[in-house]
A and B are shown apart, each in its own frame.
Chain A
Amino acid sequence: MSLENLLGNWSQYRKGHEEGGFHDYKHLWGMAIDLDICIGCNACATACYAENNLAVVGKERFEKGQAMHWLRLERYWDQNELDHPAQGASFLPMMCQQCDAATCEPVCPVAATYHTPDGLNAQVYNRCIGSRYCSNNCPYRNRYFNFYSYYEDSWPEPLNMQLNPDLTVRDKGVMEKCTFCVQRIRVAKDNAKMENRPVADGEAMTACAQACPTNAIVFGDYMDKDSQVAKLWKKHQVKLRLTKQNKENPELRGYRIFEELNVDPSVMYLERVREEV
């Protein structure tokens, strides 16, 4: 592709995903996270460690940025604060946004990271060769690389007995990331299939959403118009496949982080609210 071609057709490239692509999803798992009632308590992140066999790396490796927290809780201070953060802190639960036009997917040389028919951005550990291109390309920094074999350090016996048999323990050289608890989705889908009925809202639930003490994280199927998550997206007039939301009421709180990059994230955040006293 010549530079001339690229620049000449730039707007078309940017719109490419909005207009074309695979959209015939049966399920499209999404989230809505209300940052006004997220209290930053870390229950979600710890639940993620418990559910997903996340390795504990220790202080030295944490310092090098090698922590494996699929869901990390960011804390920001306001920039205009004077001597004190008078309006408290801003908390942000940040996990894989399961982008519909994920920038990590096309760069994988071995197709280890791919898009599932459920709209999930999946990582096939057996295929991964550890090029780390995907991680470089993730604007959210939500991909975590196994620089070491953690299974001995992280789970000395009998801690290994806690490991969730529904998913693997990843070995050295493999990229890993949040899966929206695909094993829990799997169980819900299988149960529904066995009983010959659709998956009910709330039946598939990520560990983080399950744990959240304030119910700030809502998880569900965007294609199920009656699901709580679909209703929230609709209520806040946030739509998929847009690089810029075109809300009737721009005061509604829903927004997606980095949607202007045309990655089409499946997580909608609701703005934090503060009252000036």
Chain B
Amino acid sequence: MSGKIDRRNFLKIMGLGGAGTALGGCDLPSTVTLEEGKEEVVSYLMPEEYVIPGVGVWYASTCAQCAAGCGIHGRVREGRVLKLEGNPDSSMNHGKICMMGQSGVQAHYNPDRIKTPMLREGGNLVAVSWEKAVGAIQEKLSAANGDQVAWFTGTLSGHQAALVSNHLEALGSRKHYIHEPINASVWQAVNKDMLGEAMPRLRLDKAQMILSFGADFLGTWISPVHFSGEYAKFRKQKRRGLLVTIEPKMSLTGANSDLWIPAIPGTEGVIALGIAHQLVKNHSKDMSSLPASVQGLINKYDAATTAKIAGIDEKRIQRIAELLVERSPSLVLAGAPVEGQAKGYASVAAVMLLNQLLGNIGQTIESQGSFPFNQLKAKTGGTSDLFSFVETAKNKQLSVVFFYGTNPKFTAPKAMEMDSALNDVPFKVAISMFMDETSMAADVVLPAASYLEDWGTHVAAYQPQQTAISMQQPLMEKLYAETRGFGDIVLDLLKVAKKDVYSAFADYYAYLKNAHAALPAEYKEAGMTDGDAWSAALQKGLVNVATGSMSLPVKPVSFGDPAPADSGGKFAYHFVPSARLGMWDGRHANLPWIQEAPDQITKVVWDSWAEIHPLTAQKLGIKNGSIINVESEHGTAKVQAVLIKAIHPDVIAIPMGQGHEEYGRYAKGRGANPLKLLNPVKEETTGELAMYATRVNASPTSQKEVVVRLGASDTQAGRRFVVTVPVEQYQRTEGA
């Protein structure tokens, strides 16, 4: 590397800049050599001496099936990765992974992988060489205004995030759109204002009671595998933890509750204020530090008023308040149904206010501490960037956009006009493993290596008690020679955009290895060479990071009345585009194990369906298996009806994930995409898409189908398969 790069810039290049922590041990000149990188690039492809045919060897890496960043071990035999399991050293997931993590091998070995770069020529995407594809990209990049170049990604972290940022900075652009349909963005915004920290650490294991307003922490919320492990501890406390869930449609968390209360989406904030009212009036909780407007809201929502708006029994609200006081410390959470309203911020703030009144902050809600490497932190997103992308594209302010790890053409509501916004971007580059909807609309498609073939580092937004950088390494050689790792693709772009600096690195592997060497001395065992420390990090799969201790100063947050205002007009039912653990936002619809795995609640396989309460169905003349039209202001979905009592009678739910128009043989043309039906309503404070604010009508057609599902019987018909015992009995035998 040339000698003119100063230390501060060097750290920045290595993704370690920003926070100004002590990086004293970094050994600049001796570690950054091209030769070292080159030499090591091939070494991992050579079989090690201890590789014995017929014997599986486990290698550590990081799961990329969602953004939770669980550590994994992959079993490798005869050069093939066969099975993934959790990394027992990872305090995120303690050796466990979910069904999506297990299915990672099916993404990697998927028969519909993209094998070569493609370029749009005469309207069609045709296979071309990398040179030609990259040449086309560079031609457009050099012709474009730097600030009209953008990245559009899913959650990114670690050095991949650092490189993308550095690429944008080199071009003089600030346009990084980040989109995740399943997110906790509004909750994070409230936390930022209330606690000064967007993603505080949650101590489920210390909570005596959890009250969840639609936060599906066992299924789809933030870090489900981690929270599942903590949930087991929560239940196994001396006094078994009590779980109460309030949500429009039963989630996996709801299905595990001691008490599940159906609620109309949008009324959660009112219910929370109703509980706050009880806490203040009947349990002498102090609200004097709260802003006058919030005190006014608490005063307003007495039990009768709350019950009237929310349709929940007064006594129930009083009882929940009583329990929250009795079972201290507790933990109150807000998820997607609370966030997904025009007044989502106010609703979430009302829910989080309960933690404040109950004194949970500092008890079950802790600071994550300060993470020393700002550039490596997770860049999370929600849905607000969909709006800003569409607006910017329509104003013709985007000339080149890179897409990676996101599929906005599939996930954006039809009313947002994403299709025409994409048409307004003259040059789109998709870096993808599969031809999804967005890739099909791109001008250049670059075939990405799978996460089991690639290098990387990951720092999940939510970190458990031990913060760590999770290492990603290839578990086998690339299946297709023409695919390239994401880090390599970005690095190659940087080699053009900032040649003087980045041309020193042979490839992303060399870059990462140097970045690891540049970590402070305390990150390596004493006496270890950089090479040994690197091997140790790969072997363990993670690099533990010491975080600075921080407290959570509670700041009073004022918010408006969360009461729902709109009537819905001619549309009678609240629409819930629900999230499934497995299918997620649709990214796993091309994995046969996921398609064949029954939905946890309805047990339906291989299809879409609309969940409707039997009372509502009767009113509408809908039977189980009826093909119905679910119609919103912006579209119609034709799906089979599944009658289920685990939903509010005023709600119709269609799970996300199906309805792909592209995306390979397992996903294409299967079911319906509920996201297309959504009204483009914005959450007022954060600008997020209010995903639970759409109203629909449902009407039967003359068609009917057999609902294909696991299990013929909904009940045990009096037999003793799953026996339920009262908690009092459990406390006598196993409690304390």
Interface residues, chain A, with chain B CB atoms under 8 Å away? 35-37, 39-43, 45-47, 49-51, 56-59, 62-63, 67, 69, 72-79, 81, 83-92, 154, 156-165, 207, 210-216, 249, 251-253, 255, 257, 269, 271-277
A158-B479, A275-B259 given; name 13 further pairs at CB < 8 Å: A39-B228, A46-B597, A47-B85, A56-B596, A59-B605, A62-B596, A77-B645, A79-B716, A162-B82, A213-B228, A272-B722, A277-B244, A277-B258
Interchain CB contact under 8 A, A213 and B98: yes
CB < 8 Å: which of B83, B254, B711, B721 contacts A164? B83
CB-defined contacts of A58 to chain B, threshold 8 Å: 596, 606
Q: Chain A residue with minimal CB distance to B735?
A: A273
Residue of B nearest to A276 (CB): B726
Contacts of A154 in B (CB 8 A): 592
Contact at B727–A41, with CB atoms within 8 Å?
Answer: no
10 A-B pairs with C-beta separation under 8 A: A83-B649, A85-B250, A87-B258, A91-B600, A154-B592, A157-B111, A158-B111, A212-B96, A213-B98, A273-B726
How many angstroms between the C-alpha atoms of A101 and B612 in the bound complex? 44
Give the 6 A-B CB pairs with smallest separation, nearest first: A213-B228, A59-B606, A214-B232, A90-B722, A46-B99, A275-B727
User: What CA separation (Å) do A214 and B86 show in the bound complex?
Assistant: 13
- Check: B274 CB closer than 8 A to any chain A CB: no
A158 with B724: CB separation less than 8 A: no
Please give me the residue from chain B that is nearest to A210 by CB atom.
B85
In the assembled complex, the CB of B718 is this many whole angstroms from the nearest CB of chain A, namely 7
Q: Looking at chain A's contact residues, is the secondary structure mostly helix, strand, loop, or mixed?
A: loop
Given known pairs A213-B228, A214-B232, the reply for A50 and B105 (CB within 8 Å) is yes
The answer, yes or no, to whether B736 is at the interface (CB within 8 Å) is: no
Q: How far is the CB of A176 from chain B (nearest CB, A)?
A: 16
Complex CA gap A169/B717 in Å reads 36
Contacts of B615 in A (CB 8 A): 83
Q: Is the CB of B646 within 8 A of A75?
A: no
Q: Nearest residue in A to B592 (C-beta to C-beta)?
A: A56
Neighbouring A residues of B503 by C-beta, 8 Å: none
State whether B581 touches A274 (Cβ < 8 A).
Answer: no
What are the residues of chain A within 8 A of B718 when measuring CB–CB? 79
Q: What residues of chain B lie closer than 8 Å to A161, measured between beta carbons?
A: 80, 109, 479
Given the known inter-chain contacts A39-B218, A40-B600, A57-B596, please indicate yes or no for A87 contacting B102, CB distance below 8 A: no
Task: Check if A273 sits within 8 Å of B111, measured CB to CB.
Answer: no
A4 to B65: give the CA distance in the assembly, Å: 63
B240 touches A (CB below 8 Å): yes
Residue of B nearest to A75 (CB): B603
Q: For B601, what are the chain A residues with a Cβ–Cβ distance below 8 Å?
A: 75, 89
The answer for the CA separation of A157 and B665 in the assembled complex, in Å, is: 13
| Chain A residue with the shortest CB-CB distance to B95 | A210
One of B96, B255, B706 near A43 (C-beta < 8 A):
B96
As a 0/1 sequence over residues 682 to 725 of chain B, the CB contacts with chain A under 8 angstroms (1 = contact) are 00000000000000000000000010101101111110111111
Please, which residues of chain A bring their CB within 8 A of the CB of B225? Answer: 213
Question: Using a CB–CB distance below 8 Å, which chain B residues touch chain A?
Answer: 54, 77-78, 80-86, 93, 95-99, 101-103, 105-106, 109-111, 218-219, 224-225, 228-229, 231-232, 235-236, 240, 242, 244-245, 250, 252, 254-262, 319-320, 323, 479, 581-582, 592-598, 600-601, 603, 605-607, 613, 615, 645-646, 649, 706, 708, 710-711, 713-718, 720-727, 729-730, 732-734
Bound Cα distance A157, B722 (Å): 40
The residue on A at minimum CB distance from B725 is A271
A32–B28 alpha-carbon span in the complex (Å):
55
Give the distance in Å from the alpha carbon of A253 to the alpha carbon of B242 in the complex.
Answer: 19
Contacting pair A83 B645 (CB below 8 A): yes
- In the complex the two chains form, is B105's CB within 8 Å of A277's CB? no
The answer on a CB contact under 8 Å between B722 and A43 is no
- The CA of A161 and the CA of B228, in the complex, are separated in Å by 31
The interface residues of chain A lying within 8 Å CB-to-CB of B54 are 165
In the complex, chain A residues whose CB is within 8 Å of the CB of B592: 56, 154, 159
Within 8 Å CB of B606, what residues of A?
Answer: 58-59, 62
Q: How far is A39 from B99 in the complex, measured between Cα atoms in Å?
A: 13
Indicate if the CB atoms of A85 and B596 lie closer than 8 Å.
Answer: no
Whole-angstrom CA separation of A45 from B711 in the bound complex: 15
8 Å CB contact of A77 from B605, B715, B733: B715
State which of A87, A163, A165 has its C-beta within 8 Å of the C-beta of B260. Answer: A87
Contact residues in B for A36 (Cβ distance below 8 Å): 235, 730
Inter-chain CA distance A170–B714, complex, in Å, is 31
- B596 and A88 contacting across the interface, CB-CB below 8 Å: no
B708 x A63 contact (CB < 8 A): yes
CB <8 Å contact, B600 and A277: no
Instruction: Flag if B714 contacts A165 (CB, 8 Å).
Output: no
The one of B96, B603, B723 that contacts A255, using a Cβ cutoff of 8 Å: B723
Q: How far is the CB of B358 from chain A (nearest CB, A)?
A: 17
For B105, the chain A residues whose CB sits under 8 A away are: 50, 162
B118 → chain A closest CB, angstroms: 20
Whether the pair A253, B725 counts as a contact (CB closer than 8 A) is yes
Task: Give, as a whole number of angstroms, the nearest-CB distance from B663 to chain A.
Answer: 16
Task: Assess whether A43 is in contact with B218, with CB atoms less than 8 Å apart.
Answer: no
A40:B109 contact, CB within 8 angstroms? no
Give A49 to B592 CA distance when docked, in angstroms. 10
**Which of A63, A271, A275 is close to B240, meaning CB atoms less than 8 Å apart?**
A275
Known contacts: A40-B255, A162-B109, A213-B228. The answer to whether A75 contacts B600 by CB under 8 A is yes
Alpha-carbon distance A215/B95, docked complex (angstroms): 10
Known contacts A41-B98, A75-B603, A92-B721; decide if A213 and B93 are in contact (CB<8 Å). Answer: yes
Cβ distance B621 to chain A, nearest Cβ, rounded Å: 20
Task: Answer whether A41 and B219 are a contact pair too, CB < 8 Å, given A50-B102, A62-B708.
Answer: yes
User: In the docked arrangement, what's the CA distance between A49 and B83, Å?
Assistant: 10
| Bound CA span A35–B96, Å | 18
Residue in B closest to A154 when the chains form the complex, CB atoms: B592
In the complex formed, the residue of B with least CB distance to A81 is B645
Instruction: Decide if A277 touches B231 in the complex (CB within 8 Å).
Output: no
Contacts of B730 in A (CB 8 A): 36, 253, 273
| Contact in complex: A50, B84 (CB < 8 Å) | yes
**Chain B residues, Cβ within 8 Å of A257:** 720-721
Bound complex: CA A276 to CA B242 (Å): 10
Tell whether A85 pairs with B646 under 8 Å between CB atoms, given A73-B598, A79-B716, A273-B730: yes
Complex interface: chain A residues within 8 A of B250 (CB): 85, 88-89
Q: Are B232 and A37 in contact (CB under 8 A)?
A: yes
With the chains together, A120 CA to B77 CA distance in Å? 27
Choose from B80, B259, B593 the contact partner of A50 (Cβ within 8 Å).
Answer: B593
B254 & A67 in contact (Cβ 8 Å cutoff):
no
Q: Which residue of B lies closest to A60 (CB)?
A: B708
Q: What's the minimum C-beta distance from A45 to chain B, rounded to whole angstroms?
A: 6
Nearest CB on B from A54, distance (A): 9
Which residues from chain A contact B708 at a C-beta distance below 8 Å?
Answer: 59, 62-63
Task: Write out the residue numbers on chain A whose beta carbons fall within 8 Å of the beta carbon of B232.
Answer: 37, 213-216
Cross-chain contact B99 with A51 (CB below 8 angstroms): no
Q: How far is the CA of A84 from the CA of B246 in the complex (A)?
A: 12
Beta-carbon contact of B710 and A67 below 8 Å: yes
Shortest CB-to-CB span from B659 to chain A, Å, is 15
Whether A87 contacts B724 by the Cβ 8 Å rule is yes
- B598 with A162: CB separation less than 8 A: no
Q: Is the CB of B722 within 8 A of A251?
A: no
- Chain A proximity of B78: nearest CB distance (Å): 8
The listed residue (A42, A158, A210, A276) touching B600 by CB distance below 8 A is A42
Residues of B within 8 A of A85 (CB): 250, 260, 645-646
- A271/B98 in contact, CB under 8 A: no
Complex Cα gap A193–B101 (Å): 33
Which B residues touch A63, using CB under 8 A? 706, 708
Which of B261, B649, B721, B726 meets A274, CB within 8 Å?
B726
